[in-house]
Amino acid sequence: MKAAQFSEYGGPEVIQVVEADKPTPMENQVLVEVHDSSINPFDTSIRAGYMKEMIPLELPVTLGGDIAGEVIEIGSDVSGFAVGDKVYGQANVVAGNSGAFAQFSATKAEQVAIMPSNLDYLESASLPLVGASALQALTQHINLQPGQKIFIHGGGGGIGTIAIQIAKNIGAHIATTATGEQIELVKKLGADEVIDYKSADFSEVLSDYDAAFDTVGGEEFTKTFNILKSGGVAVSMIAEVDEAKASERGISAFRQQTHVTTKVLDELRVLVEAGVVTPQVDKVFSLDDIQAAFKAKEEGTVSGKIVLKIKD
Ligand SMILES: NC(=O)c1ccc[n+]([C@@H]2O[C@H](COP(=O)([O-])OP(=O)(O)OC[C@H]3O[C@@H](n4cnc5c(N)ncnc54)[C@H](OP(=O)(O)O)[C@@H]3O)[C@@H](O)[C@H]2O)c1
């Protein structure tokens, strides 16, 4: 089978599309014929070696996490799936799977679910990590309520575009940061206030918010504390929590670790089928053009997601 692998850490140029052995599913895995995948910043971190001390890998490995495809084989301990099921989920090597950017992927059954019936494979492949992240943050950590005010930092990105839609459905007032073509998109998705992050500082414009959801990281996360009411909640996808600052401001702050599970993917499917969440695919590349796909992600502004088409 064709697989996009890297055998040394580095930029997009280290990724090579090679002939690799088709994986064999373990007892707790399903073998998926991958139709489409999508790129996440985590894939860049793995490929660039940013996490090589924390997550040592034996190279070469097949890159990628998000998949949508058809189940073609089932491990002996797996229940709840059948050959022919259309599934979406995660197939990351770091979680003990065989990787997503390949024609076939062996992945733990607990990391996939039946994909939304109203989507094709391409749209479904854009959702697993970003959809699970947005859902987990807004419903579990923040427990967002109708009428509350939430600030979503990085609203035009993969997680941000889904988080805006979920927050809108809950009935919250949404402020967000975006730039360029993302601005019209986030308004269309439901943002009430949009701040162009290249020309204004959100912390000088917003105040009295109930919650902040940060997808940008660094010092930007701590800055969100300043716009919250006492008792507010701040969640970051990336940044460490400055506990002293959080307690000084009287807020709760968390760094989220997303768990892409069948349960959360099932919840996401319900929202997609109800028309609450619509996938946001900006560009599509073929597997052979994977280097260009990563360059587009890492060098430009993307509205939502970049998808890799693997099966024509
Ligand atoms: N902890 C976990 O389990 C977990 C899970 C999933 C994701 N993550 C992390 O969460 C982060 C977001 O993921 P994602 O998939 O949403 O990434 P993404 O699609 O790259 O979105 C990030 C967005 O932030 C925008 N941005 C960059 N700098 C900004 C600034 N100074 N102010 C406002 N917006 C800014 C980007 O705009 P441009 O396009 O203009 O740069 C982009 O739209 C990533 O760092 C990812 O690694 C963590």
What is the distance between the alpha carbons of residues 186 and 142, in angstroms, rounded to a whole number?
Answer: 21
Pocket of ligand 1 contains residue 95 by CB under 6 Å: no
Over the stretch 50-83, which tens digit does the pLDDT of each residue have?
A: 999 999 999 999 999 999 999 999 999 999 999 9
pLDDT for 143 equals 97
Average pLDDT over residues 179-208: 97
Per-residue model confidence (pLDDT) at position 150: 98
Task: Give the per-residue pLDDT at 187.
Answer: 98
Phi, psi of 53 (to 5 degrees): -75, -45
Measuring from atom 2 of ligand 1, which residue has the nearest CA?
A: 257
Spatial separation of the C-alpha atoms in residues 75 and 81, rounded to whole Å: 10
Residue type for 303, please? S
Distance (angstroms) between ligand 1 centre and the Cα of 82 equals 35
| Average pLDDT, integer, range 2-12 | 98
- Asked if residue 100 lies in contact with residue 62, where contact means CB atoms within 8 angstroms, the answer is yes
Find out whether the beta carbon of 230 lies less than 6 Å from any atom of ligand 1: no
Rg of the chain over Cα atoms, rounded to whole angstroms, equals: 19
Distance 94 CA to ligand 1 centre (A): 20
> Structure tokens of 147?
């009428």
Beta carbon of 302 within 6 Å of any ligand 1 atom: yes
What confidence score (pLDDT) does residue 139 get?
Answer: 95
Reported as a pLDDT band with limits 50, 70 and 90, residue 104 is: very high
Nearest to 117 by CA among 153, 91, 88: 88
Residue bearing tokens 């997009």: 12
- φ, ψ dihedrals at 10, nearest 5°: 165, -160
Q: What is the pLDDT of residues 223-280, one digit of tens each?
A: 999 999 999 999 999 999 999 999 999 999 999 999 999 999 999 999 999 999 999 9
| Residue 130 alpha carbon, nearest atom of ligand 1 | 15
What pLDDT digit, counting tens, does each position of 124-134 carry?
999 999 999 99
Shortest-distance atom of ligand 1 to CA 45? 47
Atom 10 of ligand 1 has which residue's CA nearest to it? 237
Q: Is 188 helix (H, G, I), strand (E, B) or coil?
A: helix
Q: What is the reported pLDDT for 269?
A: 98
Mean pLDDT of the chain: 97
CA of 34 to the centre of ligand 1 (A): 25
27-52, pLDDT tens digit by residue?
Answer: 999 999 999 999 999 999 999 999 99
What value, to the nearest 5°, has the Cα angle with vertex 243 and ends 239 and 247?
Answer: 130
**3-class state of residue 203 by DSSP:** helix
Q: What distance in Å separates the CA atoms of residue 190 and residue 288, rounded to the nearest whole number?
A: 36
- Coil vs helix vs strand at 264: helix
**Is pTM beyond 0.95 here?**
yes
- CA 159–ligand 1 middle distance (angstroms): 7
Task: Catalogue all structural domains in the chain, each as residue range(s) with its CATH number.
Answer: 2-127+280-309 (3.90.180.10), 129-255 (3.40.50.720)
Q: What spatial distance separates the first Cα and last Cα of the chain, rounded to whole Å? A: 14
CB distance 127 to ligand 1 below 6 Å: no
